[in-house]
Structure 1
Amino acid sequence: MKKLIFPLLFAIVALLFSCKKSGTFPEPDPIPTPPTVPVTPTYPLPSAAKDGVVFINGGTSAIVTLYAPSKSSVYLIGDFNDWQTLPAYQMKLAPDNTTWWVQIDNLNPNTEYTYQFFVDGTLKVADPYCEKVLDPNNDSYISSVTYPNLKAYPTGKTTGIVSVMQANQPTYTWKNGSFTRPAKDNLVVYELLIRDFTTEHSYASTLQKLDYLKDLGINAIELMPVTEFEGNLSWGYNVSYYFAPDKYYGTKTALQNFIDECHGKGIAVIMDMVLNHSFGQSPMVQLYFDGNKPTSNSPWFNVDAKHPYNVGYDFNHESAATKYFVKNVVKFWMQQYKIDGFRFDLSKGFTQNYSTNDAGFAAYDASRIAIWKEYNNYIKSIDPNNFYVILEHFADASEEKVLADDGMMLWNNLNYNMNEATMGWIGTSDFSWAFFNKHGFSKSENLVDYIESHDEERLNFKNITYGNVVSGYSVKDLTTALKREEMAAAFLFAIPGPKMIWQFGELGYDISIDFNGRTGDKPIKWEYFNDSRRKALYDVYSKFIKLKKNNTIFTSPTFTYSVNGGIKYIKLTNGTNTVVVVGNFDVTNQTANIDFGTTGTWIDATSGSAINLASTSYVATLAPGEYHIYSKQALN
């Protein structure tokens, strides 16, 4: 062994000595290059593709897409491949590096197929663009009467919510193609929660009450959210699928039929649209979620809400992906369902700025104005024919004025002050905020007044619970409380501009908003209609609504008013006619002294009787709760 080692050592030393003498050493091996991360190949998106699913070849094939930037792999799984991640169903990445797509063949056009996307080997989500989903936790509570022949969930095959697609799905044939929307200034909206309107909680059962609403005189129905939301018993503001009507209320064609029948009776349909936020059931939230909140690479959502008004996960409306999605949503409902307007929930949340003014309202925000003008212009580009864009905004008055000048309509909450008036608490009963000039608006048509909404305590509950009481007069008495509701209605419908009433307000609904929890289901009290006192309130609502709709004086921009004392009045002038609404909101007799402007005979629209003024001053002692609508000329 030694004989071998020593010659080898000698040779190495000789080599080193030789290199030193020459000044050169052998070059070291180069640093190895790290292996290249494989790049996902891209494939041109077929020209027929669209967001979600499009059927081709007579419905025997479908191209399915998913917008999911930054993902590594997506498989389409479903009934058509027994929910397996098979190579033929691995989705291809389009050259934009954001859209995944696959074509599936050999479909039966008459069959409903359930499907999901399997993303990055860990996440199963339904299609954000699907028009129907199946929910393993909630569908079993949907009546077969409300939703006949609902497809069974693929139990044992997958988990979570699944999408449904069908080439030859049932279609609705529209009957009323010539509906003319009521003028904004003459709009009387009935806000309605289908869940709490009839015991059957369906579009079909609500249709059966349409004559009741038509007789009331309303000319628009505002449906609280009907897009697929979490659970069944909900107000609907926890939306998760924006293109699918919630099955708890009925089928797609049942909703289309409801809208069509409303149009046939001269009633517009406004849809409550929730695009400020989503919750955890949304596939768009789940695609970019760290288990606690959206991730920073979400195309749609902020990691944390950018404004103090938020619930759920906050949409970023400055993101191009969010704007694209919002525009697709509104276009879909406008074209597929022929709705007449949107009431946009929490519209002041469409901002990336965290700011309030001294009054606690959202401060003036130029970026939010730009966002809303862009959305409003897009809506007008689809339908310029008096389509209603109504914002639940409650921001700085200067900002609301800009939005109104652009044609948008703003919710105006009179609940507190008007309810103080009906309860007889005069010091806090000034409801002058009802008048558009107080907001700086140039037109009354842009301000939607209401004294009740889904979000506010019911007037009559507070009347009989907290109403003022003096010797011989009690607002807490139901008969008295209802009469004071009549007086409030007389003033509400005399104020120029569109109006909204909350369901059953016309019958003096007096169960608290907090009964069974704020958003819990409430007792449905159709028996109210058989109570003569409540029916009298309904009749008064109907009369005053029809007076508003049939007489242009109630849209007149020429008016004066005083609504801060016990005696309140509104005086409207239009040409040769003048109308004066006067009422005593106090709980004791009060003397009215009002300049009517003209002598002679005045007709009382509330009773049909008349008074004769020898001077222009109207001086009269009014009992508590007494009111009149005086007109110089007969009203229609």
Structure 2
Amino acid sequence: MHKILLFIFVFTTSLVAQQQTVTFDIDPSSFAEDEMITITASGFNPAVWGVTDVYLWAWSTASGVEQDAPNNGEWTNSDEAQKMTNNGNGSYSISFVPKDFYGRTGLESIGFLVKAKNGDGDKKSQDNVVTIGAIVIPPVTEAPVPNGMLDGINLNPNDNTKATLVLYAPLKTFVYVLGDFNNWEKNDNYLLKKDSAKNRFWIELTGLTPKFDHMYQYLVDGAIRVADPYSTTILDDFNDQFIDDVTYPDLPDYPSGSTSHAVTLLRTGDDDFIWQTNSYDLPEKTDLVIYELLLRDFDGLHSFDALKARLDYLEELGVNAIELMPVSEFDGNESWGYNPSFHMALDKYYGTPKAFKQLIDECHKRNIAVILDVVYNHATGQNPYYRMWNDSNGGYGGQASADSPFFNRVATHSYSVFNDFNHSKQATRDYVKRTTQYWIDEYRIDGFRWDLTKGFTQNCTPSDEGCTGSYQADRVAVLKTYADYQWDVDTDFYIIFEHLGTNTEETEWVNYRLNEGKGIMMWSNLSGAYNESTMGYHDSSGKSDFSWIDYKNRNWTVPSNVAYMESHDEERLMYKNLEFGNSNGGYNVKDVSTALTREKIAGAFYFTVPGPRMIWQFGELGYDYSINYCPNGSINNNCRVSNKPIRWDYLDDPERKAIYDVWAKLIKLRLQEQIFQTGNFTVDAGASTGLKKIQLTDDDGNAVLKHITIIGNFGLTPQSINPEFQKTGTWFDLLNDNVELNVSNVNQPISLQPGEFRIYGSSMVVLPVQEYDPLGGLNIYPNPATNTFRINKNVKKVEIFDHTGRLITKYSGDFYPDKEYDTSFLKPSIYFLRISSEVGTSSKRLIIE
């Protein structure tokens, strides 16, 4: 349905079967607003909706303003005045004079659809929009687009009162720009010039006011109003009212009453953003520890500012890359973001462009990469390039017309959602290049995760999964081209494909330009095997065998698999533990404490395998709400993309915080020690007993830590495992204060309780304690110290740990600033202080000489 109900659309992977495609005929086909017309609908079956009567739902546009027909009634209860006549031959008709029916004059276009009396459940047709009267074609000046102008907005660096707009529009005859500068009215002074050789229209706007919120749209062929396809910020006539001043201060008001549909925000003369961090070291691809998050469900403020305030939490966990679910403009406000409408605009529900840059700047200050999830398989009906070439005359529904330079009429793969881009078209490729490079240049984005790359082929049909899932040469080629576009701007750009397809196809991308140090990374879904392990299900079929995490099993020479136990698209491990966990006697995975403990062993056998890794938000705290959790507390597939509870209070639960602490140690271990870069490792995860083992060897002759052996019991009973140590001698329990184990027999069994694991190293490892200071301005002096030190704050507790993480001593009380603390008993070394007060806990290093 067109009109207001568009805002409630929420992306879902399931398709609603109730909407029908209807054939509309209008007699006469060309008419004025004061002429009687008859609309006839055919080619559909009302019985699909469970009804015999159908009704017209209608709207109109005059002076750019869209409004509903006065006798529509309610969507759940159409007015009888708009009941259509059953012609007895499968068609339905209604006749009226437009100006009377719509209750207004000066009509530019009329829109309508047919529906059941109660249209709930999508019991409706597609939208249909018809222009009133004949189109008067104004005289268009033919002139080449000025050199250096890109599609979209081109600011004049020498004159803040000017900007040049460029619109790609093949097969279109004329275009006006409408905006606050011409009262949103057609004016020949704002008729765009045409460059027929380049299929573009353009205009230089003059007399603009610097640092002012100008707004504009294009009026294409006198009928279709669209925002600029290359808008960087759009304003929406409905959704913007739900964005608060905290998230987006001073959000400009939509020009209600002057126009309809999205409009483009145009500002000139704004000061350039001053980046504070211009030199930073981002992780190598193999070292990536990515934290995938949805801002809406990560913090109640759902903003870039809120995420920036949480960076201490992520940094202490060890995260060195953040992957944001799509933040380019999407339909509505609350969404996963896979319903994109403007690929170059930042969605305002998350904050301002400045706030986004400040977040990225702060991430780079901490050497944390920022990766965006991007969606170029499709676009929604709001996309201007879809609306300019479709069979609903510029509406949001229908399907792309045969002459569309961008979209397929019918999807050429089996994962069709919304309107399917045709990636064999040069116009689509230019659009992808322009918009992707913008994010890199404007925001200093470090990488993209490409959604649904299986859809980039043009060789298949919506019903042929076998074709879609098999190797497609055109898909391989175009995605290599898109990778080149990104590397043209940033030679070290991270590129990740969510393909989940054949190993042959993925291997070709992994090896692409690998000799130049590039290559593409692939999403690797290990959720099933890891969750079977945590639930305690093991059999000879290998259901809990997660050894596919070893990139060598895919015949890859580099670890390019971004493996994950959870993602936005997978059920949460803890939910399945608690709902379906296995048991034996008194040991039951469905017990919360038991289930949480098993998340630790999962981490031990996940982060220690060489290669990039990804965490889904709150997995480190054992988040246990189903992916299909509904706001009313029920579980339903239709709630998959619904808002989920935000549980920062989990941090106060010692059992949940323990997962965070163990995972943080594991991540620090893998990032600190060279051995986790080795290609000489094995993952033994297939035993039906649930006993699993990982062994790594560093072949570097100068390596201090030569060997690591990891053993774990994913079973439900105490068991003994043969560790098969790589050598005899002294080994160290790396996550347990480096407790020594003297090994005289490498095959001597070690007993493990269910859910227990050990990480043994052939030499001792000291994990650093990262300094952080939520108290603000905390200072320890003197430092280095000899016999005493002081703290310049009022504190409640001071704990001193040695380099192995062992607690040496602690002081508890109500200590005044500058109190003297005794350290005469400490040997010269590096120690770590944990300092607690009423406002938080800080960590600091202390050197004793």
Same fold (TM over 0.5): yes
Quickly say closer, same or farther: Cα 1:617–1:579, change in 2 above 3 A. Answer: same
1:55 is matched with 155
Report how far residue 348 of structure 1 moved.
2.0
Ranges in structure 1 where 5+ consecutive residues have no aligned partner: 1-36
1:43 is matched with 143
2:622 is matched with 508
Match for 1:317 among 392, 398, 423?
423
Are 1:172 and 1:257, in contact at CA under 8 Å, matched by a contact in 2?
no
Percent sequence identity over aligned pairs: 44
Match for 2:473 among 355, 366, 377?
366
Are 2:691 and 2:711, in contact at CA under 8 Å, matched by a contact in 1?
yes
Quickly say closer, same or farther: Cα 1:456–1:170, change in 2 above 3 A. Answer: farther
Report how far residue 41 of structure 1 moved.
5.3
- The one-letter amino acid paired with 2:754 is P
CA distance in 2 between counterparts of 1:138 and 1:272 reads: 22
- Pairing 1:220–2:321 present: yes
Report how far residue 44 of structure 1 moved.
2.1
- Report the 3-state secondary structure (helix = DSSP H, G, I; strand = E; otherwise coil) of the residue aligned with 2:607: helix
Stretch of structure 1 that moved more, 125-134 or 365-374: 365-374
1:26 is matched with none
Are 2:454 and 2:468, in contact at CA under 8 Å, matched by a contact in 1?
no
Spell out, residue by residue over 1:385-411, the C-alpha distance to the aligned partner (whole angstroms, 9 max, x if none): x21001101111011111001100001
Are 2:735 and 2:759, in contact at CA under 8 Å, matched by a contact in 1?
yes
- Report the 3-state secondary structure (helix = DSSP H, G, I; strand = E; otherwise coil) of the residue aligned with 1:582: strand
CA distance in 1 between counterparts of 2:408 and 2:569 reads: 26
Quickly say closer, same or farther: Cα 1:144–1:440, change in 2 above 3 A. Answer: same
- Pairing 1:279–2:380 present: yes
Spell out, residue by residue over 1:385-441, the C-alpha distance to the aligned partner (whole angstroms, 9 max, x if none): x21001101111011111001100001010011001000011210111111011121
After TM superposition, the structure 1 = structure 2 runs for residues 451-470 of structure 1, keeping only pairs within 5 Å, are 451-470=565-584
Are 2:413 and 2:465, in contact at CA under 8 Å, matched by a contact in 1?
no
Match for 1:342 among 432, 445, 448?
448
After TM superposition, the structure 1 = structure 2 runs for residues 597-612 of structure 1, keeping only pairs within 5 Å, are 597-608=726-737, 609-612=739-742
- Report the 3-state secondary structure (helix = DSSP H, G, I; strand = E; otherwise coil) of the residue aligned with 2:301: coil
After TM superposition, the structure 1 = structure 2 runs for residues 290-301 of structure 1, keeping only pairs within 5 Å, are 290-291=391-392, 292-301=398-407
Greater C-alpha Rg: 1
Aligned residue pairs, count: 598
- Pairing 1:586–2:712 present: no
Report how far residue 538 of structure 1 moved.
0.5
- Pairing 1:117–2:241 present: no
Are 2:454 and 2:501, in contact at CA under 8 Å, matched by a contact in 1?
yes
1:23 is matched with none
Quickly say closer, same or farther: Cα 1:82–1:38, change in 2 above 3 A. Answer: closer
Quickly say closer, same or farther: Cα 1:159–1:376, change in 2 above 3 A. Answer: same
2:82 is matched with none
CA distance in 1 between counterparts of 2:200 and 2:473 reads: 32
After TM superposition, the structure 1 = structure 2 runs for residues 380-419 of structure 1, keeping only pairs within 5 Å, are 380-384=487-491, 386-406=492-512, 407-419=519-531
- Report the 3-state secondary structure (helix = DSSP H, G, I; strand = E; otherwise coil) of the residue aligned with 1:545: helix
- The one-letter amino acid paired with 1:367 is D
- Report the 3-state secondary structure (helix = DSSP H, G, I; strand = E; otherwise coil) of the residue aligned with 1:494: coil
- Pairing 1:552–2:664 present: no
- Report the 3-state secondary structure (helix = DSSP H, G, I; strand = E; otherwise coil) of the residue aligned with 1:583: strand
Match for 1:624 among 749, 754, 758?
754
2:411 is matched with 305
CA distance in 1 between counterparts of 2:260 and 2:488 reads: 41
Stretch of structure 1 that moved more, 224-233 or 616-625: 616-625
- The one-letter amino acid paired with 2:387 is Q
CA distance in 1 between counterparts of 2:349 and 2:193 reads: 35
CA distance in 1 between counterparts of 2:338 and 2:148 reads: 34
CA distance in 2 between counterparts of 1:532 and 1:196 reads: 22
Ranges in structure 2 where 5+ consecutive residues have no aligned partner: 1-136, 393-397, 513-518, 631-638, 767-849
Match for 2:536 among 409, 413, 424?
424
Are 2:413 and 2:468, in contact at CA under 8 Å, matched by a contact in 1?
no
Would you tell me which structure has more strand in proportion to its own residues?
A: 2
Match for 1:134 among 222, 227, 235?
235
CA distance in 2 between counterparts of 1:302 and 1:361 reads: 16
2:11 is matched with none
CA distance in 1 between counterparts of 2:556 and 2:320 reads: 24
- The one-letter amino acid paired with 2:643 is D
- Pairing 1:615–2:745 present: yes
1:493 is matched with 607
Stretch of structure 1 that moved more, 495-504 or 41-50: 41-50
- Report the 3-state secondary structure (helix = DSSP H, G, I; strand = E; otherwise coil) of the residue aligned with 2:754: coil
Stretch of structure 1 that moved more, 334-343 or 162-171: 162-171
CA distance in 2 between counterparts of 1:197 and 1:561 reads: 33
- The one-letter amino acid paired with 2:538 is I
Spell out, residue by residue over 1:553-578, the C-alpha distance to the aligned partner (whole angstroms, 9 max, x if none): 11210012210121011111113611
Match for 2:165 among 22, 43, 64?
64
CA distance in 2 between counterparts of 1:375 and 1:618 reads: 53
Match for 2:270 among 169, 174, 182?
169
Are 1:357 and 1:396, in contact at CA under 8 Å, matched by a contact in 2?
no
Report 1 or 2 for greater relative contact order, CA contacts < 8 Å, sequence distance ≥ 6.
Answer: 1
Would you tell me which structure has more helix in proportion to its own residues?
A: 1
TM-score (norm 1): 0.91
CA distance in 2 between counterparts of 1:433 and 1:357 reads: 27
2:310 is matched with 209
- For the aligned residue pairs, the C-alpha RMSD in angstroms reads 1.8
Stretch of structure 1 that moved more, 114-123 or 519-528: 114-123
